[in-house]
Structure formats: structure tokens, C-alpha cells
Chain A
Amino acid sequence: MAAVTQDTAVSTGRVTRAFIYLVLVLFALFYLLPLYVMGVNSVKPLSEITGGNMMALPQVWTLEPWRQAWSTAQIGVEPTGLRPYFLNSILMVVPAVAISTIVGALNGYVLTKWRFRGDTWVFGLMLFSCFIPFQIVLIPMAVVLGKLGLAGSVAGLVLVHVVYGIGFTTLYFRNYYASFPTELVRAAMIDGAGFFRIFWRILLPVSGPIAVVSVIWQFTNIWNDFLFGVSFGGTSQPMTVALNNLVQSSTGVKEYNVHFAGAILAALPTLIVYIVAGRYFVRGLMAGSVKG
């Protein structure tokens, strides 16, 4: 990305500008629509929704749908609410993000500052693994998790997410460390500093921004994952799978307000991360697509 952050030199007439603003605002409304629908319907009684007032503000405000979604809604066969699954997701996300980020940092360090013959190939093979359709690994992964005794456990999901996450974390740290002056590393080497000491004392202190990018990317991806969760979650299903079970459940009355509250609960962690650190989130997205 070029460092130039300027607007275009193109100038536009008044009518054109009015049209541009109109289009931009309409699209903003389009993007906000589902959020509004979820929010407003999660705090009204079911009867108001089935009465056809989906777009209206609640006549009676209630937090009951939130309470139900969190602690009493029927998920599968148990009326546990989403709480235990939220906990599963946390227990899965925290170690998976921490491990994959640390491993990615070390890999990026080796691939840029301790280069060896064939390192581009090693990196290329790891990078391609970010883009495979995961359907191609589902069957053997199920077999291996079964053999390891990790099928249906949070530990199994952590393993899966670390394995298929290190490609991206390595990419981030590699691209970031590539622009760090190698002379500084050389100088430290001559002074007798070893591999880990250089990493700890020289590279790590400047790694803050890319570590944030990596943590946010991994957090968002792993929290939002559905395919691995539904395939290997077993009794330790993550939040996304539980939400889907809640919404798709074919027994009883469809409690749309509870579904919406549940959807917001599932979206909240990543949404908060986005609001707090959106800049880093976007940077991670871009680094995963265009050259960083």
C-alpha cells in the first residue's frame, strides 16, 4: 500500500456531489439494516414480531429474549441457553490465538532474518495452506482427532485452529519483519547475541502493531468458524454451531426475538474488537489479500 494518503484531485459539480452523498448514505443504511433488525427485535415480545412489526421500535421493551438466549433457550436437546457454548468458544479461542500468534512470530523471524536455501518454498507451501477449501482435510482430520482421543473436545478444536492458522500468522510476521533492518540483527550477532536473545530483545519490542493484527485476525476467524466446529465439536460445540442449532430448531414455536438476541451474543465479541481496533482489523484483511 502506498504511503500517500490523499484524496483525488478530481473535482465534481454540485449535483454530482449531492448524488454521491445520497448513494453513500443509502448504502450505509443497507449495511446497518440487519444490525437494526437484530437489535430492535431482540428487545420486543414475540407477539410484536409475528404481528408484522419487524421494522418498528418495540411498544413494550423487554430484556427477556436476551435472558432466554443466554440461559434457558433449548439448544439441541438441552435447555441450557447459549452460555455453555459461549464458554466453549472462549476456551477454544484464547489458547488457539495465543499459540498461533507466537508460532507465527518465530516463523516470520526465521524466514526473514535467518534465511536459508529453500526458505521461499517453505513459506510458499505454508502460505498455500491458508487458501485450501477445508473440505479437503475434513475426513483425515476426523480420523486423526479420533486416534488422538481429541474428537469432540475443545482441545481438538484448538489443535485444528492452530494448525490451519499458522499460515496466516507466519505471513503477517514475515511481511512485517522483512522491512525491519537486517543490519541491526547482524550487529547483535557480531556482539555475540544468540537466536532467541535477538528475537526477545530486538524484534519482539517492535512487534506490537503486527501482533495486534495477528491476534485480531485469528480471534475473528476462530470465533466465527462454523465448519470445524460443526464437524469436530461433538459435545464441546462453539457458539456459532449452537446459534445455528437454536435458529434451525424445528420443534416448538419459533422465538424470533430469542434468535436475534442469540445472534447478537454470537456477534458481540468480534463486533467489540472491530469497534475498538477496527484499523488493525482492516490492516489484517488487506495483508491477507494485497501486498502488505
Chain B
Amino acid sequence: MARSETVDFRTRLQDWLPRLVLAPSFAVTLLFVYGFILFTIVLSFTGSKMLPKFTWVGFENYEKLFALPAWHTAIVNIAVFASLYIVICTLIGLMLAIFLDQKIRGEGMLRPIYLYPMALSFIVTGTAWKWFLDPGIGLQQVMRNMGWESFTFTWIKDADYALYTIVLAAVWQTSGFVMAMFRAGLRGIDNEILKAAQIDGASNWQLYRRIVIPLLRPAFLSAFVILSHLAIKSYDLVVALTGGGPGRATEMPATFMYSYTFTRNQMGIGASSAVIMLMTIAAIMVPYLYAELKEKK
């Protein structure tokens, strides 16, 4: 930054102005993000029930948390949900991207159709799928009306299968977005490489398996990071689609945290579950963001 010999008030102000402009945002971030995180971490070591109170209880909340069957269910559910959701979204996204890449007529019409669900609220998505999958009025009834009397589809009411309906709705919402990410990756691949491989006699299958898919590594990484982040945060969709039920069958960490904190008055336990969620996301996001920022410098 340029500095003159006579540093009068005006130029000094000019020097500090940029930092002054940025300061409120930074202060707000420090307080409302990092300060709040600290606050929640502290709370997770206290015996808070309905309101925050600062009686130190050590790791008691964490011990209680991991002894709770509801939290156990939430952990198993998020693991199953996240794995299925990430794998299926990636497969569908990759397939649609590769297919759309084949000089498809009408691509301009198809792509917006694949992507529009991303603009909707999870509550809207949940409402639509909830009634479509409802055995009483939805798919099952429609099939029976059409003459398939024995058709049965009761996943959404079935404790063993309800989780998969959440996977279905979540995949519906975000797989188009994953397609767009891979499509951008495919467009960046140099056609000369493909032509050279073709001259060498590689089949299409080999071409994609050996050359294209390995070159898409960055897109795979981004998709994984974004999808896992969305999965761990998933709250609205569960609330709208199953409400965490039937019974406790589709409890997730996000719904668990909300109900323990705000309706069951177990704030200490709620806070500890939020801390676990943050740690999981941070373990995925921090290395990724760090690498991204470093690369850009």
C-alpha cells in the first residue's frame, strides 16, 4: 500500500477504510459463528435443561448421549442414509452427465428439468412425496385402481423401509445438481486426448473407465463434499416426509438435536449432539476448504 511522507488524517483514514468496511462482517462472524460454537460447546459440558445454566458436569452429557437408543438410531440412520444418498446421487449424476454429453438433441430442454428440484424447498419436496407414497391415496392406490389388485407399496409407513423413502426424495432433489457438476467437469476434458485414445483402438467403455472418469476426480471430490454436507444437515426433508417416524424409525442427528433441546428440555444433551454434528462436518469441510484456498493463492 502506498504511503506518503506526510501522513495526514485523510490518508490514514483511507488506509484503514478497507479494514473498517470489512470489520463489521468479521466481527459478526466471530461472534455469531465462532462465539456461538464456543457457547454450545460449553453448554454441552453443563447440566442445562430448559434454559442454559452453567453447572459443570464434565462429559456426563456425552456419556448419556451415546447411551441413548434414540441417538444410536440417529447415528445408524444417518450412516445408511448418507451412504445411499451419496452413492446413488453420484451414480445418477455421472450417468446423466455422460449421456447428455453425447450430442443430445433437446439437451436444452432436459437439463432444466433435471435441475429444477434444487430450487424447491425441502418442505415442498417432502409434501409432494409424502402424499405420492402414501398407501391410502398415492402410488399403491393408483396401481390397484388400474387393475393390479395385489400391488403393495407401504415403505413410508413401514419402520424398516421409511428411511429409503427419504433417500428417494433426497436423490430426486439433488441428483440433477450432481449431473451439472459432472457436466462441467466433462466439458473441461480435452477432446484431443479422447481422439488419440480412439485412434489407439480403445472402446467407448474403456475410454470412460480408463480416461474420462479418472479425469473427473475433482468433480467427484466436490460432489462428495457437498452431498455429505447436505446429508448431515438434513432436517427439513425428514420433518416434512416422515416427521422422524414411524415411531423413531427415521430419527436423524438433526431431528434428535431439535427435539432434545426444544421439546424435551434436555439442552445439555442437545448441545452435545450438535457438537458431534459440527465435528463430523468439520472433518470433511476443513481439509477441503483449506486445499481450495491454498490452491487459489
Contacts and interface: CB of A to CB of B under 8 A. Distances in A.
Nearest to A30: B172
A8 B101 contact: yes
B247 interface: no
Contact of A270 (B30, B101, B120): B120
Interface in A127-160: 127-129, 131-141, 143-144
Contacts of A275: 112
B21 A110 contact: yes
A247 B270 contact: no
A247 B258 CA distance: 20
A229 B268 CA distance: 23
Interface stretch (B63-71, B154-162, B179-187): B179-187
Given A135-B274, A141-B32, A194-B14, A282 B180 contact: yes
A273 to B, nearest CB: 7
A226 B37 CA distance: 21
Contacts of A137: 32-33, 36-37, 40
Given A122-B26, A166-B29, A273-B119, A140 B35 contact: yes
A24 B52 contact: no
Contact of B101 (A7, A131, A163, A194): A7
Interface residues of A, number: 105
Given A12-B204, A136-B277, A290-B218, A274 B95 contact: no
B-side interface mostly: helix
Given A6-B187, A139-B40, A122 B22 contact: yes
A2 B119 contact: no
A28 B191 contact: no
A-side interface mostly: helix
A9 B177 contact: no
A32 B222 contact: no
Contact of B102 (A12, A27, A28, A132): A12
A172 interface: no
A226 B14 CA distance: 42
B235 interface: yes
Given A28-B110, A143-B52, A278-B112, A126 B274 contact: no
A267 B189 CA distance: 36
Contacts of B52: 139, 143
Given A128-B289, A135-B277, A170-B25, A23 B95 contact: yes
B103 interface: yes
Interface in A1-32: 1-2, 4-10, 12, 16-17, 20-21, 23-24, 27-28, 30-32
Given A23-B99, A54-B137, A226-B121, A37 B132 contact: yes
Given A124-B293, A131-B229, A133-B254, A256 B131 contact: yes
B73 interface: no
B212 to A, nearest CB: 8
Contacts of B33: 125, 128-129, 132, 137, 163-164
Interface string B208-236: 10000000001100110110010011011
A231 interface: yes
Interface string B243-274: 10000000001100110011000010011011
17 contacts: A7-B103, A10-B101, A34-B128, A54-B142, A103-B24, A123-B293, A126-B26, A128-B289, A136-B275, A163-B32, A195-B21, A223-B121, A227-B235, A244-B239, A247-B130, A263-B124, A266-B124
Nearest 7 A/B pairs, CB to CB = A114-B18, A2-B188, A224-B121, A34-B128, A274-B119, A52-B141, A226-B236
Given A2-B187, A248-B243, 6 more contacts: A20-B104, A24-B96, A135-B253, A164-B32, A282-B180, A285-B180
